[in-house]
A and B are shown apart, each in its own frame.
Chain A
């Protein structure tokens, strides 16, 4: 049953990818969504990358550590994961607008 709900998430992700204009708000996430994303970044991303993002089992994600990575690379990594590493894809529950907000946050923008 859980697998079924994962399939649903995957299907949603596909739907979002296929119809980005319809499925995603062009504007920044709402204040409530921003709070959820900040919590996700601190605690869920933080479980591998550290609460202060100085790294753990996963690499450091400080603004300095990410300086030579462009925004698209970071967004793709968050959405699709990194094959061959424990980094999972988050496209089942994050929109591109969410990811843009997260990348800005990582950059300290």
Chain B
């Protein structure tokens, strides 16, 4: 290429760039970035969500007017641009993380508890307490598509808990009042096909699916143990695991329901909070037998594995919720006891797990810890923070 041609090319390029520069000046850098290091922190009392970025780390934007966000949780679109936020008041909000804006909000029920996004990302499902059931929405528009009324064998509607997505266009969830697990094929969301499993145990309080999407586990509050469904063998039914782990001991009063959503699986072991006990239970992921217990500081709420499975981080129910413990998986022992502050409600790992973010509610702070050195590396102000959700969840089944 001769000099003249280069000059012309350069001029043409400058001409092409000029309007882009102008547009960029009007909308500075908001769009010109990826979303793989973004996430949200729920400020539940304020009805607000803070969009955060984990690389710096920092707050980017606040999005207000999201209603009652107690127990709020979120799932993400497959392009990791949008968050779908499930509020207690039945609100379903679609948030644009890149623009830091509310896209759309619908009140879809009277009282809801969580949600899921389908494997193909086209359907958002919300699990409701009132009226008990699951409602399905178009992920693009939030237009209603269908409903699965959780009407149990006794004719009453049940609160729905533990809703997860599963491979092959399925949703799986548990009926708290009725003690059932349902698996729904939502390939046609306007006409879901439901498989019901009855008598799975008393008061299932939450559910989770293994990372491979094969096994669904519902934790039981009304009795010791959990209920297991093998989604590769739906005809085999639900079986009980970890039955009688309390061995007749009187459980302690439970000041906060444990969660299984962050149920940890590390290697061939699963870690789950023991209800009403100061223990984390270990279960074999191959034959589902109990493999031991680890004594911990209080009643566990979340037991979450670092993405590589080397550590499991545990937080606790009131009145021990100022402490977080780190379990070393190879030795199955508590390696560290941290005291971030009062009311540590939630923990979320960065996608590859070098950092973990902790919401410290009563300190109005989110703390960032280095998971190798177990020291705090940053703090971000947040008003009464609860759930923390990062976009990497979009690539994981059951999240």
Question: Judging by beta carbons under 8 Å apart, are B88 and A50 in contact?
Answer: yes
Question: Judging by beta carbons under 8 Å apart, are A3 and B278 in contact?
Answer: yes
Could you say which of B136-144, B179-187, B252-260 contacts chain A? B252-260
Question: Judging by beta carbons under 8 Å apart, are A48 and B257 in contact?
Answer: yes
Question: Judging by beta carbons under 8 Å apart, are B253 and A88 in contact?
Answer: yes
Measured between beta carbons, the chain B residues less than 8 angstroms from A55 are 111, 129-130
Measured between beta carbons, the chain A residues less than 8 angstroms from B89 are 52, 54
A44 CB within 8 Å of chain B: yes
B45 CB within 8 Å of chain A: yes
Expressed in whole angstroms, the Cα–Cα distance for A3 and B113 within the complex equals 32
B297 CB within 8 Å of chain A: yes
Expressed in whole angstroms, the Cα–Cα distance for A56 and B68 within the complex equals 12
Expressed in whole angstroms, the Cα–Cα distance for A44 and B71 within the complex equals 11
Contact with A along B67-83 (1 / 0, CB 8 A): 01111000000000000
Expressed in whole angstroms, the Cα–Cα distance for A93 and B361 within the complex equals 20
B176 CB within 8 Å of chain A: yes
Chain B minimum-CB-distance residue to A44? B318
Measured between beta carbons, the chain B residues less than 8 angstroms from A93 are 319
Those of A1-33 within 8 Å (CB) of chain B: 2-3, 6
Chain A interface residue count: which class?
20 to 34
Expressed in whole angstroms, the Cα–Cα distance for A100 and B208 within the complex equals 39
Question: Judging by beta carbons under 8 Å apart, are B257 and A44 in contact?
Answer: no
B221 CB within 8 Å of chain A: yes
Chain B minimum-CB-distance residue to A89? B253
Expressed in whole angstroms, the Cα–Cα distance for A55 and B112 within the complex equals 10
B199 CB within 8 Å of chain A: no
Expressed in whole angstroms, the Cα–Cα distance for A2 and B205 within the complex equals 25
Q: Chain A's nearest CB lies how many Å from the CB of B296?
A: 8
Expressed in whole angstroms, the Cα–Cα distance for A51 and B278 within the complex equals 26
Expressed in whole angstroms, the Cα–Cα distance for A47 and B88 within the complex equals 10
Given contacts A2-B278, A93-B319, contact A52 B257 (CB under 8 A): no
Question: Judging by beta carbons under 8 Å apart, are B68 and A43 in contact?
Answer: no
Question: Judging by beta carbons under 8 Å apart, are A51 and B257 in contact?
Answer: no
Expressed in whole angstroms, the Cα–Cα distance for A108 and B159 within the complex equals 28
Contact with A along B85-119 (1 / 0, CB 8 A): 00011000000000000000000000101000000
Those of B348-395 within 8 Å (CB) of chain A: 361-362, 384
Measured between beta carbons, the chain B residues less than 8 angstroms from A86 are 203, 205, 221, 254, 257
Question: Judging by beta carbons under 8 Å apart, are A50 and B343 in contact?
Answer: no
In the complex, number of A-B residue pairs with CB atoms less than 8 Å apart: 66
B284 CB within 8 Å of chain A: no
Question: Judging by beta carbons under 8 Å apart, are B70 and A56 in contact?
Answer: yes
Question: Judging by beta carbons under 8 Å apart, are A50 and B298 in contact?
Answer: no
Chain B interface residue count: which class?
20 to 34
Contact with B along A31-74 (1 / 0, CB 8 A): 00000000100111011101110111100000000000000000
Chain B minimum-CB-distance residue to A49? B70
Q: Chain B's nearest CB lies how many Å from the CB of A47?
A: 6
Out of B111, B161, B176, name the residue touching A50 (CB < 8 Å): B111
Measured between beta carbons, the chain B residues less than 8 angstroms from A3 are 278
Out of A6, A46, A51, A54, name the residue touching B252 (CB < 8 Å): A6
B48 CB within 8 Å of chain A: no
Question: Judging by beta carbons under 8 Å apart, are B71 and A43 in contact?
Answer: no
Measured between beta carbons, the chain A residues less than 8 angstroms from B297 are 2
Chain A minimum-CB-distance residue to B386? A43
Chain A minimum-CB-distance residue to B256? A47
Measured between beta carbons, the chain A residues less than 8 angstroms from B130 are 55
Chain A minimum-CB-distance residue to B319? A93
Measured between beta carbons, the chain A residues less than 8 angstroms from B257 are 47-48, 57, 86
Measured between beta carbons, the chain A residues less than 8 angstroms from B318 are 44
Question: Judging by beta carbons under 8 Å apart, are A42 and B45 in contact?
Answer: yes
Question: Judging by beta carbons under 8 Å apart, are B159 and A57 in contact?
Answer: yes
B135 CB within 8 Å of chain A: no
17 A-B pairs, CB-CB below 8 angstroms? A2-B297, A2-B320, A42-B45, A43-B343, A43-B361, A48-B257, A50-B68, A51-B45, A51-B69, A54-B89, A55-B129, A55-B130, A56-B70, A56-B71, A86-B254, A88-B254, A89-B253
Please name 8 further chain A to chain B contacts, defined as beta carbons within 8 Å, in addition to the given A43-B361, A56-B129, sorted by A numbering: A2-B297, A44-B318, A52-B88, A54-B111, A55-B111, A56-B70, A57-B129, A86-B254
Interface residues of B, Cβ cutoff 8 Å to A = 44-45, 68-71, 88-89, 111, 113, 129-130, 159, 161, 176, 203, 205, 221, 252-257, 278, 297-298, 318-320, 343, 361-362, 384
User: What are the 7 closest A-B residue pairs judged by CB atoms, nearest first?
Assistant: A88-B253, A51-B70, A2-B278, A44-B318, A52-B68, A46-B70, A50-B88
